[in-house]
Amino acid sequence: MKRFAILLLALVFATSIFAFEQGTKTVGGWIGYESDTWYKDADPITTITINPWGGYFFIDNVCGIVFFDYTSTNSKDWDDPITSLGIGIGGRYFYNDIYGGLGFMMRSTNNGDYKESANFLNLSLGYLYGIAENVYVDLGGRYYMGIGEYGGDGEGDNEQSGFEFGAGIDIFFP
């Protein structure tokens, strides 16, 4: 009986590790919202972020992704919103419903007459909560840090960094 329990436990563990098989495709994305007030009498600054992606599992549990990043930041005190558009590539490793990822993104920012471009390294960590067969709610966080120098109207080294929480939906096609 003890051997059977150990064998059953080993079988459950081995099958749970390979949750997503080679050849699986995925589409999904996050939507984020943030509202900041920088001082007591200031109007709030609102930021909306949309991050869609698509990916392919080249080996079991390892997914290559292509992602987009659209950010719009605005306040009623400003004449024009600040918009950013980015495109990136990366990869994710899945263990059961938890994943970690690494990516590279090129982003272009437009603030009226001021335009700059920058590169970023992204680190992500998330959790997938199943809501239907092959459909998951994706809850996660992303840390990004600037690399290289600014382009366009920007000057100097890109030392920008930040942390973002997101929620969205991921769909997997075996």
Contact in structure between 52 and 28 (CB atoms under 8 Å): yes
pLDDT at 9 over 50: no
More confident residue, 54 or 6: 54
Q: What are phi and psi of 3, to 5 degrees?
A: -65, -40
Contact in structure between 117 and 149 (CB atoms under 8 Å): no
Task: Judge if pTM exceeds 0.85.
Answer: no
Q: Give the pLDDT score at 14.
A: 43
- Judged by average pLDDT, the poorest of 39-43, 47-51, 87-91 is 39-43
pLDDT at 7 over 60: no
- pLDDT bin (cut points 50, 70, 90) of residue 135 is very high
Domains in the chain, ordered, with CATH? 2-173 (2.40.160.20)
For 117-128, the pLDDT digits (tens) are 999 999 999 999
Report the distance separating Cα 149 and Cα 144, nearest Å: 15
pLDDT at 134 over 90: yes
More confident residue, 161 or 171: 171
